[in-house]
Amino acid sequence: MTWQALQADMAAQNYVASDDLAVALHLALSLGRPMLLEGAAGVGKTEVARVLAAARDTKLIRLQCYEGLDAAQAIYEWNYQRQLLSIRASAEAGETGQAVEARIFSEDYLLERPLLAAIRQDVPPVLLIDEIDRADEEFEAYLLEVLADYQVTIPELGTISARSTPIVILTANGTRDLSDALRRRCLYAYVDYPDRTTELAILRARCPEIEDRLAQQIIGFVQKLRAEELEKVPGIAEMLDFAAALMGLGVADLTADPAVLQSTLTTLLKTQSDRANVPTEVAQRLAGRAA
């Protein structure tokens, strides 16, 4: 498959990938390397994994990272409640020793977490490791070991090797610096906010019934809004919500009703300070320059 074919497959899933992103993903797939996507929140990094899984008709397995994430939550853990119940039942039946231990540390009591589940699929899944920069550096180091050999060692069961190599997509929002070791392990692409032409194509793909004039105004307005001093810059998802809200209210022109426009900013501005920084007169000024 060429990168152009991959780009077309993603477009069929209503994702407009830039040439640079499509080439990077194609190389990651061809070389069997993890893909690190970095960029601001809301630019569509997570959506890449979902679209890739849909385009390749395979399973999407997601690991959401957060501070304090450890191996037990990411790879596997034992079903302790079932183990305790089994131990009690065995004791009542007079059964003890190695037979009980072998039973409670078997596959029946193993809880798969995303990393283990990903390497046990018969068909290569897309493994999304979302917001890796939110996890601790210790977990990042452990993740490198798993990605190096695609195998997991469970002391009670032994080493479990991958049935198939997952397609690994990591995302980062710049919360902290990632290690050089992780960056060397991955191919890299920076996903930025789309330019006007690309974002217009995204809107038309997701809302094919939208009138052209309104679509032009929406993209112009959102792109100018991003240039304002905001705490939370609206991403693509917020732009689509904004468009849906306007269409649902029957708005055909952003400048027609200042009150309605101001009320729909709830889809774009997600903090009180941002709402205060974009009063009605500012919204009208941006709307007037949006076409």
Instruction: Examine the domain organization and report whether 180 and 265 are in the same domain.
Output: no
What pLDDT does 291 receive?
A: 65
What pLDDT does 126 receive?
A: 97
Instruction: Examine the domain organization and report whether 39 and 159 are in the same domain.
Output: yes
What pLDDT does 106 receive?
A: 80
What pLDDT does 144 receive?
A: 87
Residue 256: Cβ-neighbour burial (10 angstroms; 0-12, 13-18, 19+): exposed
What pLDDT does 26 receive?
A: 96
Query: With a cut of 50, which residues of the chain have pLDDT below it?
Result: none
Instruction: Examine the domain organization and report whether 146 and 31 are in the same domain.
Output: yes
What pLDDT does 235 receive?
A: 93
Decide if 94 is inside a domain.
Answer: no
**CA-closest candidate to residue 248, choices 232, 270, 269, 263:** 263
What pLDDT does 89 receive?
A: 82
What stretches of the chain adopt beta strand conformation (E)? Answer: 35-38, 60-64, 76-78, 110-112, 126-130, 151-154, 158-161, 167-172, 187-190
Domain count, the chain: 2
Contacts for 290 with CB less than 8 Å, ≥ 6 apart: 216, 217, 218, 219, 220, 221, 224, 254
Instruction: Examine the domain organization and report whether 7 and 127 are in the same domain.
Output: yes
What pLDDT does 72 receive?
A: 80
